[in-house]
């Protein structure tokens, strides 16, 4: 019976929350030219002499706050998701996880798929909205590694799933379960930020403040437009009035211009303008991680409370939710 390979790619995490492991991880991550788009001679000293030495101790403390018994949240949830997905797909697929900047690596995953004798491999970056720094980088790494391994098995690319019915539906279900009968004044959709320079590579993007809200205004791989599309789909499914939800962007790095508004600024403004009870949803992440659990779950809540906010609810990511596992399996089988 013919088998297909499915390679789930995520960014990964440090092996532990100890500073040396965090330094190693941050260095590998930030030295990716798709993450920091500078020539190597400028990127190397910036990363190794400035950013990593300053950020590693601070990041290590943050990782420690959210570390799970089995490891880092993103690694744990990705592994659980892959195991459940394999059960759902049964013998027709061989599912492997490859992490861009940690173990198990993309190379080790491709080797295992090669040894399994699959007929083709579907490369699946686990990032709902397309960005060159995530999806694009994943595809390039997988294709470069396959060439290095002299892999002749055909590779296919999973499209961005920002508007996938199961992804949206699971996000809605988790939001409803988290909030139930709670009073919520405002819903904030917090997406991972990107430098504006990355987004402007798409023809027509960021030409006006609301250009990405207009259907078909941007090219199909516009990250900002896909973020708005995801948020709109979830908000409409929840029957939210336009004034009851908004979009913001988190995890800014460096001094350049990033997508706005910033999540921390939005939380401050919401609290100061009388939105006492808010819910935060992070739909650019399929697995909870340091960016959702610590940056938003802990740091975001502190910011909101410091400026007068009261109740703060963080909606979990889709993680290994059974509805999401089944929906993603259906998506994969449909391609």
Sequence-distant (6+) residues with CB within 8 A of 60 are: 14, 17, 18, 19, 22
Query: Long-range contacts for 236-244 (Cβ within 8 Å, ≥24 apart)?
Result: 237/168, 237/169, 237/172, 238/172, 238/175, 238/176, 238/187, 240/187, 244/185, 244/186, 244/187
Q: Note whether 169 and 223 are same-domain residues.
A: yes
Distance CA 245, CA 270 (A): 11
329, part of any domain: no
Q: Note whether 172 and 154 are same-domain residues.
A: no
Average pLDDT over residues 282-288: 99
Q: Note whether 24 and 86 are same-domain residues.
A: yes
Distance CA 24, CA 2 (A): 39
Q: Note whether 48 and 143 are same-domain residues.
A: yes
Q: Note whether 98 and 177 are same-domain residues.
A: no
Q: Note whether 214 and 271 are same-domain residues.
A: yes
325, part of any domain: no
Among 106, 125, 160, give the residue marking a domain's end: 160
Q: Note whether 263 and 137 are same-domain residues.
A: no
Among 160, 176, 193, give the residue marking a domain's end: 160
Q: Note whether 48 and 171 are same-domain residues.
A: no
120, part of any domain: yes
The per-residue pLDDT for range 92-104, each reduced to its tens digit, is 999 999 999 999 9
Q: Where are the alpha helices (DSSP H) in 238-321?
A: 263-272, 301-306
End-to-end CA distance of the chain: 18
Please indicate if the annotation marks 192 as binding a ligand.
yes
Element (H, E) at 229: helix 223-237
Q: Note whether 235 and 293 are same-domain residues.
A: yes
Q: Note whether 96 and 195 are same-domain residues.
A: no
Tell me the average pLDDT of the chain.
94
75, part of any domain: yes
Residue 277's domain is classified under what CATH number?
A: 3.40.50.1400
Q: Note whether 102 and 44 are same-domain residues.
A: yes
What DSSP character marks residue 316? P
Lowest mean pLDDT among 10-24, 38-52, 190-204, 224-238: 190-204
327, part of any domain: no
Instruction: Give the position of tokens 């609290």.
Output: 271
Q: Note whether 55 and 197 are same-domain residues.
A: no
Q: pTM above 0.85?
A: yes
The per-residue pLDDT for range 317-329, each reduced to its tens digit, is 999 999 999 999 9
Range of the domain at 140: 4-160
174, part of any domain: yes
Please indicate if the annotation marks 307 as binding a ligand.
no
The per-residue pLDDT for range 297-317, each reduced to its tens digit, is 999 999 999 999 999 999 999
322 — phi, psi (to 5°)?
-55, -40
Task: Tally the domains of the chain.
Answer: 2
CA nearest neighbour of 180 among 19, 7, 315, 24: 315
Among 118, 134, 160, give the residue marking a domain's end: 160
Distance CA 141, CA 144 (A): 5
């Amino acid at each position: 019976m013919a088998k297909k390979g499915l390679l789930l790619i995520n960014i990964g995490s440090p092996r532990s929350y100890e500073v040396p492991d965090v330094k190693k991880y941050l260095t590998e991550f930030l030295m990716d030219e798709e993450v920091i788009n500078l020539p190597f001679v400028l990127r190397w000293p910036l990363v190794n002499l400035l950013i990593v030495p300053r950020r590693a101790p601070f990041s290590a403390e943050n990782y420690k706050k959210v570390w799970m018994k089995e490891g880092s949240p993103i690694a744990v949830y990705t592994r659980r998701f892959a195991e459940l997905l394999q059960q759902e797909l049964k013998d027709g697929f061989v599912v492997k996880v490859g992490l861009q900047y940690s173990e198990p690596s993309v190379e080790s995953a491709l080797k295992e798929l090669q040894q399994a004798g699959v007929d083709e491999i579907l490369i699946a970056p686990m990032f709902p909205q397309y960005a060159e720094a995530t999806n694009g980088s994943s595809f390039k790494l997988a294709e470069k590694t396959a060439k290095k391994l002299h892999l002749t098995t055909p590779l296919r690319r999973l499209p961005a799933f920002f508007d996938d019915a199961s992804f949206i539906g699971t996000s809605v279900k988790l939001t409803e379960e988290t909030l139930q009968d709670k009073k919520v004044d405002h819903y904030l959709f917090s997406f991972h930020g990107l430098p504006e320079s990355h987004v402007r590579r798409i023809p027509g993007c960021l030409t006006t403040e609301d250009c990405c809200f207009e259907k078909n205004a941007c090219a199909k791989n516009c990250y900002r437009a896909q973020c708005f599309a995801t948020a709109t789909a979830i908000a409409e499914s929840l029957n939210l009035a336009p004034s009851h939800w908004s979009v913001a962007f988190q995890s800014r790095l460096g001094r350049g211009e990033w997508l706005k508004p910033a999540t921390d600024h939005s939380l401050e403004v919401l609290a100061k303008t009388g939105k006492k009870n808010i819910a935060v949803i992070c739909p650019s992440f399929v697995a909870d991680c340091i960016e959702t659990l610590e940056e938003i779950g802990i740091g975001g809540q502190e910011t909101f409370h410091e400026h007068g906010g009261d109740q703060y609810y963080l909606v979990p990511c889709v993680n290994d939710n059974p509805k999401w596992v089944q929906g993603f399996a259906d998506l994969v089988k449909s391609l």
